[in-house]
A and B are shown apart, each in its own frame.
Chain A
């Protein structure tokens, strides 16, 4: 937990759950596992609020509890990790992916689950059906079965998974529970039944919300509606499987890289290969399972009717490409091919680093950076010769890169005393530490963007409140059937420059939001690369 990560997590918690939860969460991140009493003592918040915040965090899977260090009798300890909180930044991307894959229904299912943390299947289906019905025309409504089928599809492709079971909820003041605690890290539970859809009896259609509930904010729906019906899946809660989404993003990144580098057909072939190995490859595998060319040929989408020899040629070209996205693993079945996942991630991370240096320092510095990446260690004179840059400028650029820590200096002494005139000084670039450094920079950048956004809204708070009031007045006037003159009079209460200011504020906030998502893409690439090197 670096300082930047803690800062970012604090901001995210504050935005999504409020200040109290932020305080509790921050404290947990900083101090590791703690029991309730220590938490109370150190944060100084009242016990009710602490309990509620812990509830919220546990509900969303951010915090896990386990029995204390001293054995089963000691008070339970609560622990949270930065990773899970940083996922909050990626929620829009998950929702968008679900939309592209499974349409509006899928999008709403994922959105509901992300908002609530975990829910049973029946309540999800009902809520989503209601929401969809709301947006449909009069007289039509969404059938529960459609939503259920979308839900099942999501579970089949492992995008949703069951929450790990807990036999009895451990009480907060440390009563020992009979069953042992679930794994402490909120990682992927790999218990059986993880992806089994329960048999649920759900018959009905979505209900349209009545018009007098129109003004209700979506967030107020968080208050659980008391439902008197039971549907046979009590106690089975579902949560979003983030790892699966990450695998999907990784595959997408590889496919678009292949499309950029080679051509569309090659990227389709790689997409087919990745799709075929979606469920057979473990998340941390270095490469997918070998696929024979015959299988690939059969599984290609029918719109691409390319002949078999042409497919072989494309595969050979993919294997020969210096980026090494695809490798050949054998000759049986017309050639066995694998997708080199770790290598592809390393290449993508490398391209990211190069692009950062290029945008920040210019294309000649980028040339020096790439040169050092290729040739590992070089003396200053050699750098100048290979890069064909005049000596003075090359020296300047190297020193700038060195001061930003993108390039390191390695000293090789000729004599036991490190006399400068008798030592070799070699410049080098280490990809992994540089990637980590850039990742921290990304976290800081996102935190800056969020802060700026909050600052901008705070600055114009007065204006925003005024516009909200006017909108409310307008709406109520319209509902009670006022005349047009009254409406225009009310509208004119906002002056033109204020309107302009509001407009520009809206633009600013949108821009900052989209920038956060863009930086999140970089964060994802760098994080995947760093994680892949840890496990290998």
Chain B
């Protein structure tokens, strides 16, 4: 009993003790404590003293101030991150916090300015010092090549910023995409031909000419033409381009959960197809492909009688 009393008295009297008590409470509740909790614990503490203690802890960087729907929350900060910020001042800490909040999408310098209400010159200075301390890094966005977003040093940039597997150093790798395109198409085409030559009943033939996206993915991985690891989604985007080329068609079937390659109980099947018609009659004449078609009329500078394309074509 006497011990308790003593403790209580010491809590009431010294601000350092108040701070320690608050820190213990924070450690007890790692998700954060509200004002209410502190008040319950130390009912005799005046609001002013409480506020002073909390402010001191915040300025020391040992407490995190958060807001949730019911009010303010105080949370213990890591020792590690506390040590990082030693030597930085409040403004830098503020900027750092904003960048941390942006997660792996990064944040633009103008947005940092809006959130922190600091002038531009200050922001630039802070960003430079943070970069030199290797706490943040700048990543060029693929959407707008002049824009730089900032994020924490050890975070992987999100796909939307770097563009994912198809971009290397902000350049779209069109040859890589082309090569993948060709390989997928050859795989599907050979599968379709094998099915056609097998001379079984037509239903079996068609089913065996299908390939799931998982099979195609495995085939491409085994081919080893890609330096970057490709996910199944990447392969599906490639296969979609083949559909838009009119060389491949896709169906979706229901598959049991847990079968290899199924996503949400469905599987996508791809199959190589032949074109429906031969190149149409209009494009076999020079007029069908003529770049000055609209300017051509009889009696004009460009007319059927003196058309050079026709002359070449006729002598072909």
Give the interface of A toward B (CB within 8 A): 256-257, 260-261, 263, 265, 309-310, 313-314, 316-317, 322-323, 347-348, 351-352, 354-356, 358-360, 363, 366-368, 370-371, 374, 386-391, 393, 438, 441-442, 444-445, 447-449, 451-452, 455, 504, 507-508, 511-512, 515, 517-522, 525
Given A388-B177, A522-B282: A455 in contact with B203 (beta carbons within 8 A): no
What are 18 A-B pairs at a CB distance below 8 A? A260-B277, A261-B274, A313-B203, A317-B206, A351-B276, A351-B277, A367-B244, A370-B244, A390-B174, A441-B287, A441-B293, A442-B282, A444-B287, A448-B304, A451-B303, A452-B307, A511-B313, A519-B285
In angstroms, how far is the closest chain B Cβ from the Cβ of A21?
20
- Minimum CB–CB distance for A121 against chain B, Å: 35
| A455-B304, A518-B284, A522-B281 known; A313+B201 contact, CB < 8 A | yes
Binds A, one of B3-11, B234-242, B260-268: B234-242
Interface membership of B222, Cβ < 8 A: no
Bound form: Cα–Cα A276–B273 in Å: 29
Query: Is B305 close to A, CB under 8 A?
Result: yes
Q: Indicate if the CB atoms of B277 and A515 lie closer than 8 Å.
A: no
From the candidates A322, A391, A393, name the one contacting B249 in the complex (CB within 8 A): A322
Which residues of the other chain, A, contact B40 by a CB distance below 8 angstroms?
A: none
The 3 closest A-B pairs by CB, nearest first: A518-B281, A359-B283, A445-B287
B201 to A: closest C-beta gap in Å: 6
In the complex, chain B residues whose CB is within 8 Å of the CB of A323: 276
Contacts of B245 in A (CB 8 A): 363, 366-367, 370
Q: Please indicate the chain A residues that have their CB under 8 angstroms from the CB of B287 in the complex.
A: 441, 444-445, 448-449
Report B18 CB to chain A, min CB distance, Å.
54
Chain B 273-315, CB within 8 Å of chain A: the 1/0 string?
Answer: 1111111111111011100010010100001110100100111
Beyond A359-B283, A390-B172, A518-B282: 6 further Cβ-contacts under 8 Å? A351-B276, A388-B177, A393-B174, A441-B293, A455-B304, A504-B315
Q: Are A389 and B280 in contact (CB under 8 A)?
A: no
Check A451/B298 contact, CB under 8 A, given A317-B203, A351-B275: yes
Check B288 against A348 for contact (C-beta < 8 Å): no
Q: What A residues does B284 contact at CB under 8 A?
A: 515, 518-519
Least Cβ–Cβ distance between B150 and chain A, in angstroms? 23
A442–B285 Cα gap in the complex (Å)?
Answer: 10
Q: How far is the CA of A316 from the CA of B288 in the complex (A)?
A: 39
Complex interface residues of chain B between 18 and 43 (CB less than 8 A to chain A): none
B202 engages A260 (CB within 8 Å): no
Flag if B296 contacts A356 (CB, 8 Å).
no
Q: A260 near B276 (CB under 8 angstroms)?
A: yes
By beta carbon, the residue of chain B nearest A360 is: B289
B285 and A445: CB pair below 8 A? yes
- Selected from B177, B251, B314, the residue in CB contact (under 8 A) with A508 is B314
Chain B interfacial residues counted at CB < 8 A:
47
Question: Cβ of A388: which chain B residues have Cβ within 8 Å of it?
Answer: 166, 174, 177, 181, 237-238, 241
Whose C-beta in chain A lies nearest to the C-beta of B180?
A388
Complex CA–CA separation, A138 to B21 (angstroms):
128
Q: Specify which of B166, B249, B280 lies most central, judged by the most chain A CB atoms within 10 Å of its CB.
A: B280
Which chain B residues have a beta carbon within 8 Å of chain A's beta carbons?
A: 166, 172, 174, 177, 181, 196, 201-203, 206, 237-238, 240-241, 243-246, 249, 251, 273-285, 287-289, 293, 296, 298, 303-305, 307, 310, 313-315
B279 close to A359 (CB less than 8 A) = yes
| Inter-chain contacts of B296 with A (CB < 8 A) | 448
Q: What's the least CB distance linking B214 to chain A, in Å?
A: 21
A352 touching B280, Cβ below 8 Å:
yes
Asked whether A387 lies within 8 Å of B241 as measured between CB atoms, the reply is yes
Residues of B within 8 A of A452 (CB): 304-305, 307, 310
Q: How far is the CA of A399 from the CA of B211 in the complex (A)?
A: 36
Q: How far is the CB of B176 from chain A (nearest CB, A)?
A: 10
Closest residue of B by beta carbon distance from A357: B283
Q: Which of A261, A448, A511, A522 contacts B273 (CB 8 A)?
A: A261
**Chain B residues in 8 Å Cβ range of A313:** 201-203
Given A442-B282, A449-B287: A387 and B304 within 8 A (CB)? no
Q: Is the CB of B244 within 8 A of A386?
A: yes
In the complex the two chains form, what is the Cα distance from A154 to B276 in whole Å?
Answer: 31
Q: Give the CA-CA distance A449 to B313 in the complex, in Å.
A: 12
Per the bound structure, the CA–CA distance linking A144 and B124 in Å amounts to: 103
Tell me which residues across on chain A come within 8 A of B203, comparing CB atoms.
313, 316-317
Tell which of A348, A356, A389 touches B282, judged by Cβ atoms closer than 8 Å. Answer: A356
- In the bound assembly, the distance between CA atoms of A286 and B265 in angstroms comes to 37
Known pairs A260-B275, A323-B276, A360-B288; A520 contacts B202 (CB<8 A):
no
> B202 contacts A310, CB within 8 Å?
yes
Cβ contacts under 8 Å, A265 to chain B:
202
Instruction: Note all chain B residues with C-beta closer than 8 A to A448.
Output: 287, 296, 304, 307, 310
- Which residues on the A side are within 8 Å of B201 (C-beta)? 309-310, 313
A504–B251 Cα distance when bound, in Å, is: 53
Please determine whether B274 and A519 come into contact, CB atoms closer than 8 angstroms: no
* Interface pair B249/A386, CB less than 8 Å apart: no
Instruction: Tell me the bound Cα distance from A394 to B140 in angstroms.
Output: 22
Q: B140: shortest Cβ distance to chain A, in Å?
A: 15
Residues of B within 8 A of A387 (CB): 241, 244
Least Cβ–Cβ distance between A438 and chain B, in angstroms: 7
Closest CB in chain B relative to A223 CB, distance in Å: 34
Task: Determine how close the nearest CB of chain B comes to the CB of A300; give it in whole angstroms.
Answer: 15
Contact A356 B280 (CB under 8 A): yes
Contact B276–A356 (Cβ < 8 Å)? no
User: A263 to B174, alpha carbons, bound, how many Å?
Assistant: 35
Q: Which residues of A contact B282 (CB under 8 A)?
A: 352, 356, 438, 441-442, 445, 518-519, 522
Contact of A389 among B174, B246, B289 (CB under 8 A): B174
Given A260-B277, A317-B203, A389-B174, answer yes or no on A451-B304 (Cβ-Cβ < 8 Å).
Answer: yes
Q: Which residues of A contact B196 (CB under 8 A)?
A: 263
Provide the bound-state CA to CA distance between A455 and B298, in Å.
Answer: 11
CA distance in complex: A534, B196 (Å): 40
CB-CB nearest in chain A for B307: A452
CB distance from B68 to the nearest CB of A (A): 33
The interface residues of chain A lying within 8 Å CB-to-CB of B293 are 441, 444
A359 near B289: Cβ-Cβ < 8 Å: yes
Output the least CB separation between A318 and chain B (Å): 10
| A347 and B285 form a contact (CB under 8 A) | no
Which among A256, A355, A374, A519 is the interface contact of B244 at CB below 8 angstroms?
A: A374
Residue of A nearest to B204 (CB): A313
Shortest Cβ distance from B314 into A: residue: A508
B288 touches A449 (CB 8 A): no
Q: How far is the CB of B162 from chain A (nearest CB, A)?
A: 14
Query: Which B residues touch A393, using CB under 8 A?
Result: 174
A386 and B241 in contact, given A448-B287, A448-B304 (Cβ under 8 angstroms) = yes
B277 touches A257 (CB 8 A): yes
